[in-house]
Amino acid sequence: MQISTVAIIGGLGKTGGRVAERLKDRGIDVRAASRSTTPAFDWQDRDTWHQALEGASAAYVTFQPDLAVAWAAEAISAFAKTAVEAGVGHIVLLSGRGEDGAVLSEQELKAVGVDYTVLRASWFNQNFSEGAFLDGLLQGKLALPVGDVPEPFVDAADLADVAVEALTNPRHRNQTYELTGPRALTFRDAVSEIAAASGRAIDYERVPIDTFMAEMTATGLPRETTDLLHELFTQVLDGRNSRVEDGVRQILGRRPRDFSDYARETAASGIWSI
């Protein structure tokens, strides 16, 4: 099927922006859609959905705040129906590994009948350089309620390459892929590699989940966000996702980027310097 325009829902995010750049490099028209774009897209304002999708033949979808939240599955179902009405024939959904809510959202997407590709991703390498973990690293200590549970962190660049291939190659339609990096590391291991690559002394501290949640609540985060964090750190990081999977190689025909390569190249950018 010929691709005309790809709508990128969450087009300014870690993966959405990377997917958009790669599609443009291939000469494919892209419409990035978020709350700050024109037209705007807001998951909690369904009146914005149709205009953001109209005229697109495919969509890459990231859900905010996370598919684990209680209202995500129903929203994904309604979104997919709106997408079909707008003429979208294929939806590539970024999902999460080991999240019960994400599985429900995947099922709702499939039930609509539109062609889909589900990309179940591990935690991103870029959480350490473009996300919530950066401040702790800059302060010299990352404190999280995670012990020696390995996580096969995946690189956002690999995820973007996978998404573009899924969007442009029909053989990936109606498939679900598990995307991880090539090896699993504990958070302590990951911080140690970042410290070595950046030439800085950076510690990792495991804190009790109750202490962590109290600190997050004290910052003024809404209840939905703190509940989500609790689920991510207690359910998703309970060891169920420690296994390395081969989804990146299945789609791209190459090995995924190793965390050490990410740490070395990111350190060279100066992001972890103080």
What pLDDT, in 10s, does the model give residues 190-248?
999 999 999 999 999 999 999 999 988 998 888 888 888 888 888 889 999 999 999 99
Domain range summary for the chain, segments of one domain joined by +: 5-123+154-181+241-257
17 three-class SS: helix
pLDDT in tens, 19-72: 999 999 999 999 999 999 998 999 999 999 999 999 999 999 999 999 988 999
Among 11-20, 137-146, 188-197, 228-237, the range scoring the smallest mean pLDDT is: 228-237
Distance CA 192, CA 213 (A): 24
- Rounded Cα–Cα distance for residues 177 and 175 (Å): 7
**β-pair partners for 203:** 141
Burial of 267 (0-12, 13-18, 19+ CB in 10 A): buried
Contact (Cβ atoms closer than 8 angstroms) between residue 187 and residue 204: yes
Residue 1: the pLDDT is: 54
Structure-model confidence comparison of residues 195 and 274, the more confident one? 195
Question: How many Å apart are CA 67 and CA 104, to the nearest integer?
Answer: 9
Local structure of residue 118 (DSSP, 8 states):
E
Give the integer Cα–Cα distance in Å for 99 and 115: 22
Taking CA atoms, 244 is separated from 123, 176, 250, in Å, by 12, 16, 13
pLDDT of residue 173: 97
| C-beta neighbour count of 194 within 10 angstroms | 26
3-state class of 141 per DSSP?
Answer: strand
DSSP 181-240: -SS-B-HHHHHHHHHHHHTS--EEEE--HHHHHHHHHHTT--HHHHHHHHHIIIIITSST
> How many CB atoms are closer than 10 A to CB 71?
11
End-to-end CA gap in the chain: 50
Q: Which two tokens stand for residue 266?
A: 């990111």
C-alpha 269/C-alpha 199 separation (Å) is 13
Tell me the pLDDT tens digit for each residue of 78-114.
Answer: 999 999 999 999 999 999 998 989 999 999 999 999 9
What is residue 274's predicted lDDT score, i.e. its pLDDT? 82
Which pLDDT score, from 0 to 100, does residue 132 have?
A: 86
What the block records as the tokens of 258 is 């190793």
Mean pLDDT computed over 255-270: 98
Q: Is the N-terminal amide bond of 65 cis, ω within 30° of 0?
A: yes
Do 66 and 72 meet the contact criterion of CB atoms below 8 Å apart? yes
Please tell me the distance from the alpha carbon of residue 241 to that of residue 151, in angstroms, as a whole number: 7
Q: Fold for domain 5-123+154-181+241-257?
A: Rossmann fold (3.40.50)
Top pLDDT among 219 and 182 is at: 182
Strands 29-33 and 115-121: unpaired
| Per-residue pLDDT, 223 | 85
* pTM, to two decimals: 0.95
Mean pLDDT (whole number) for 133-160: 96
Who wins on pLDDT, 234 or 252? 252
Q: How far apart are CA 43 and CA 274, in angstroms?
A: 37
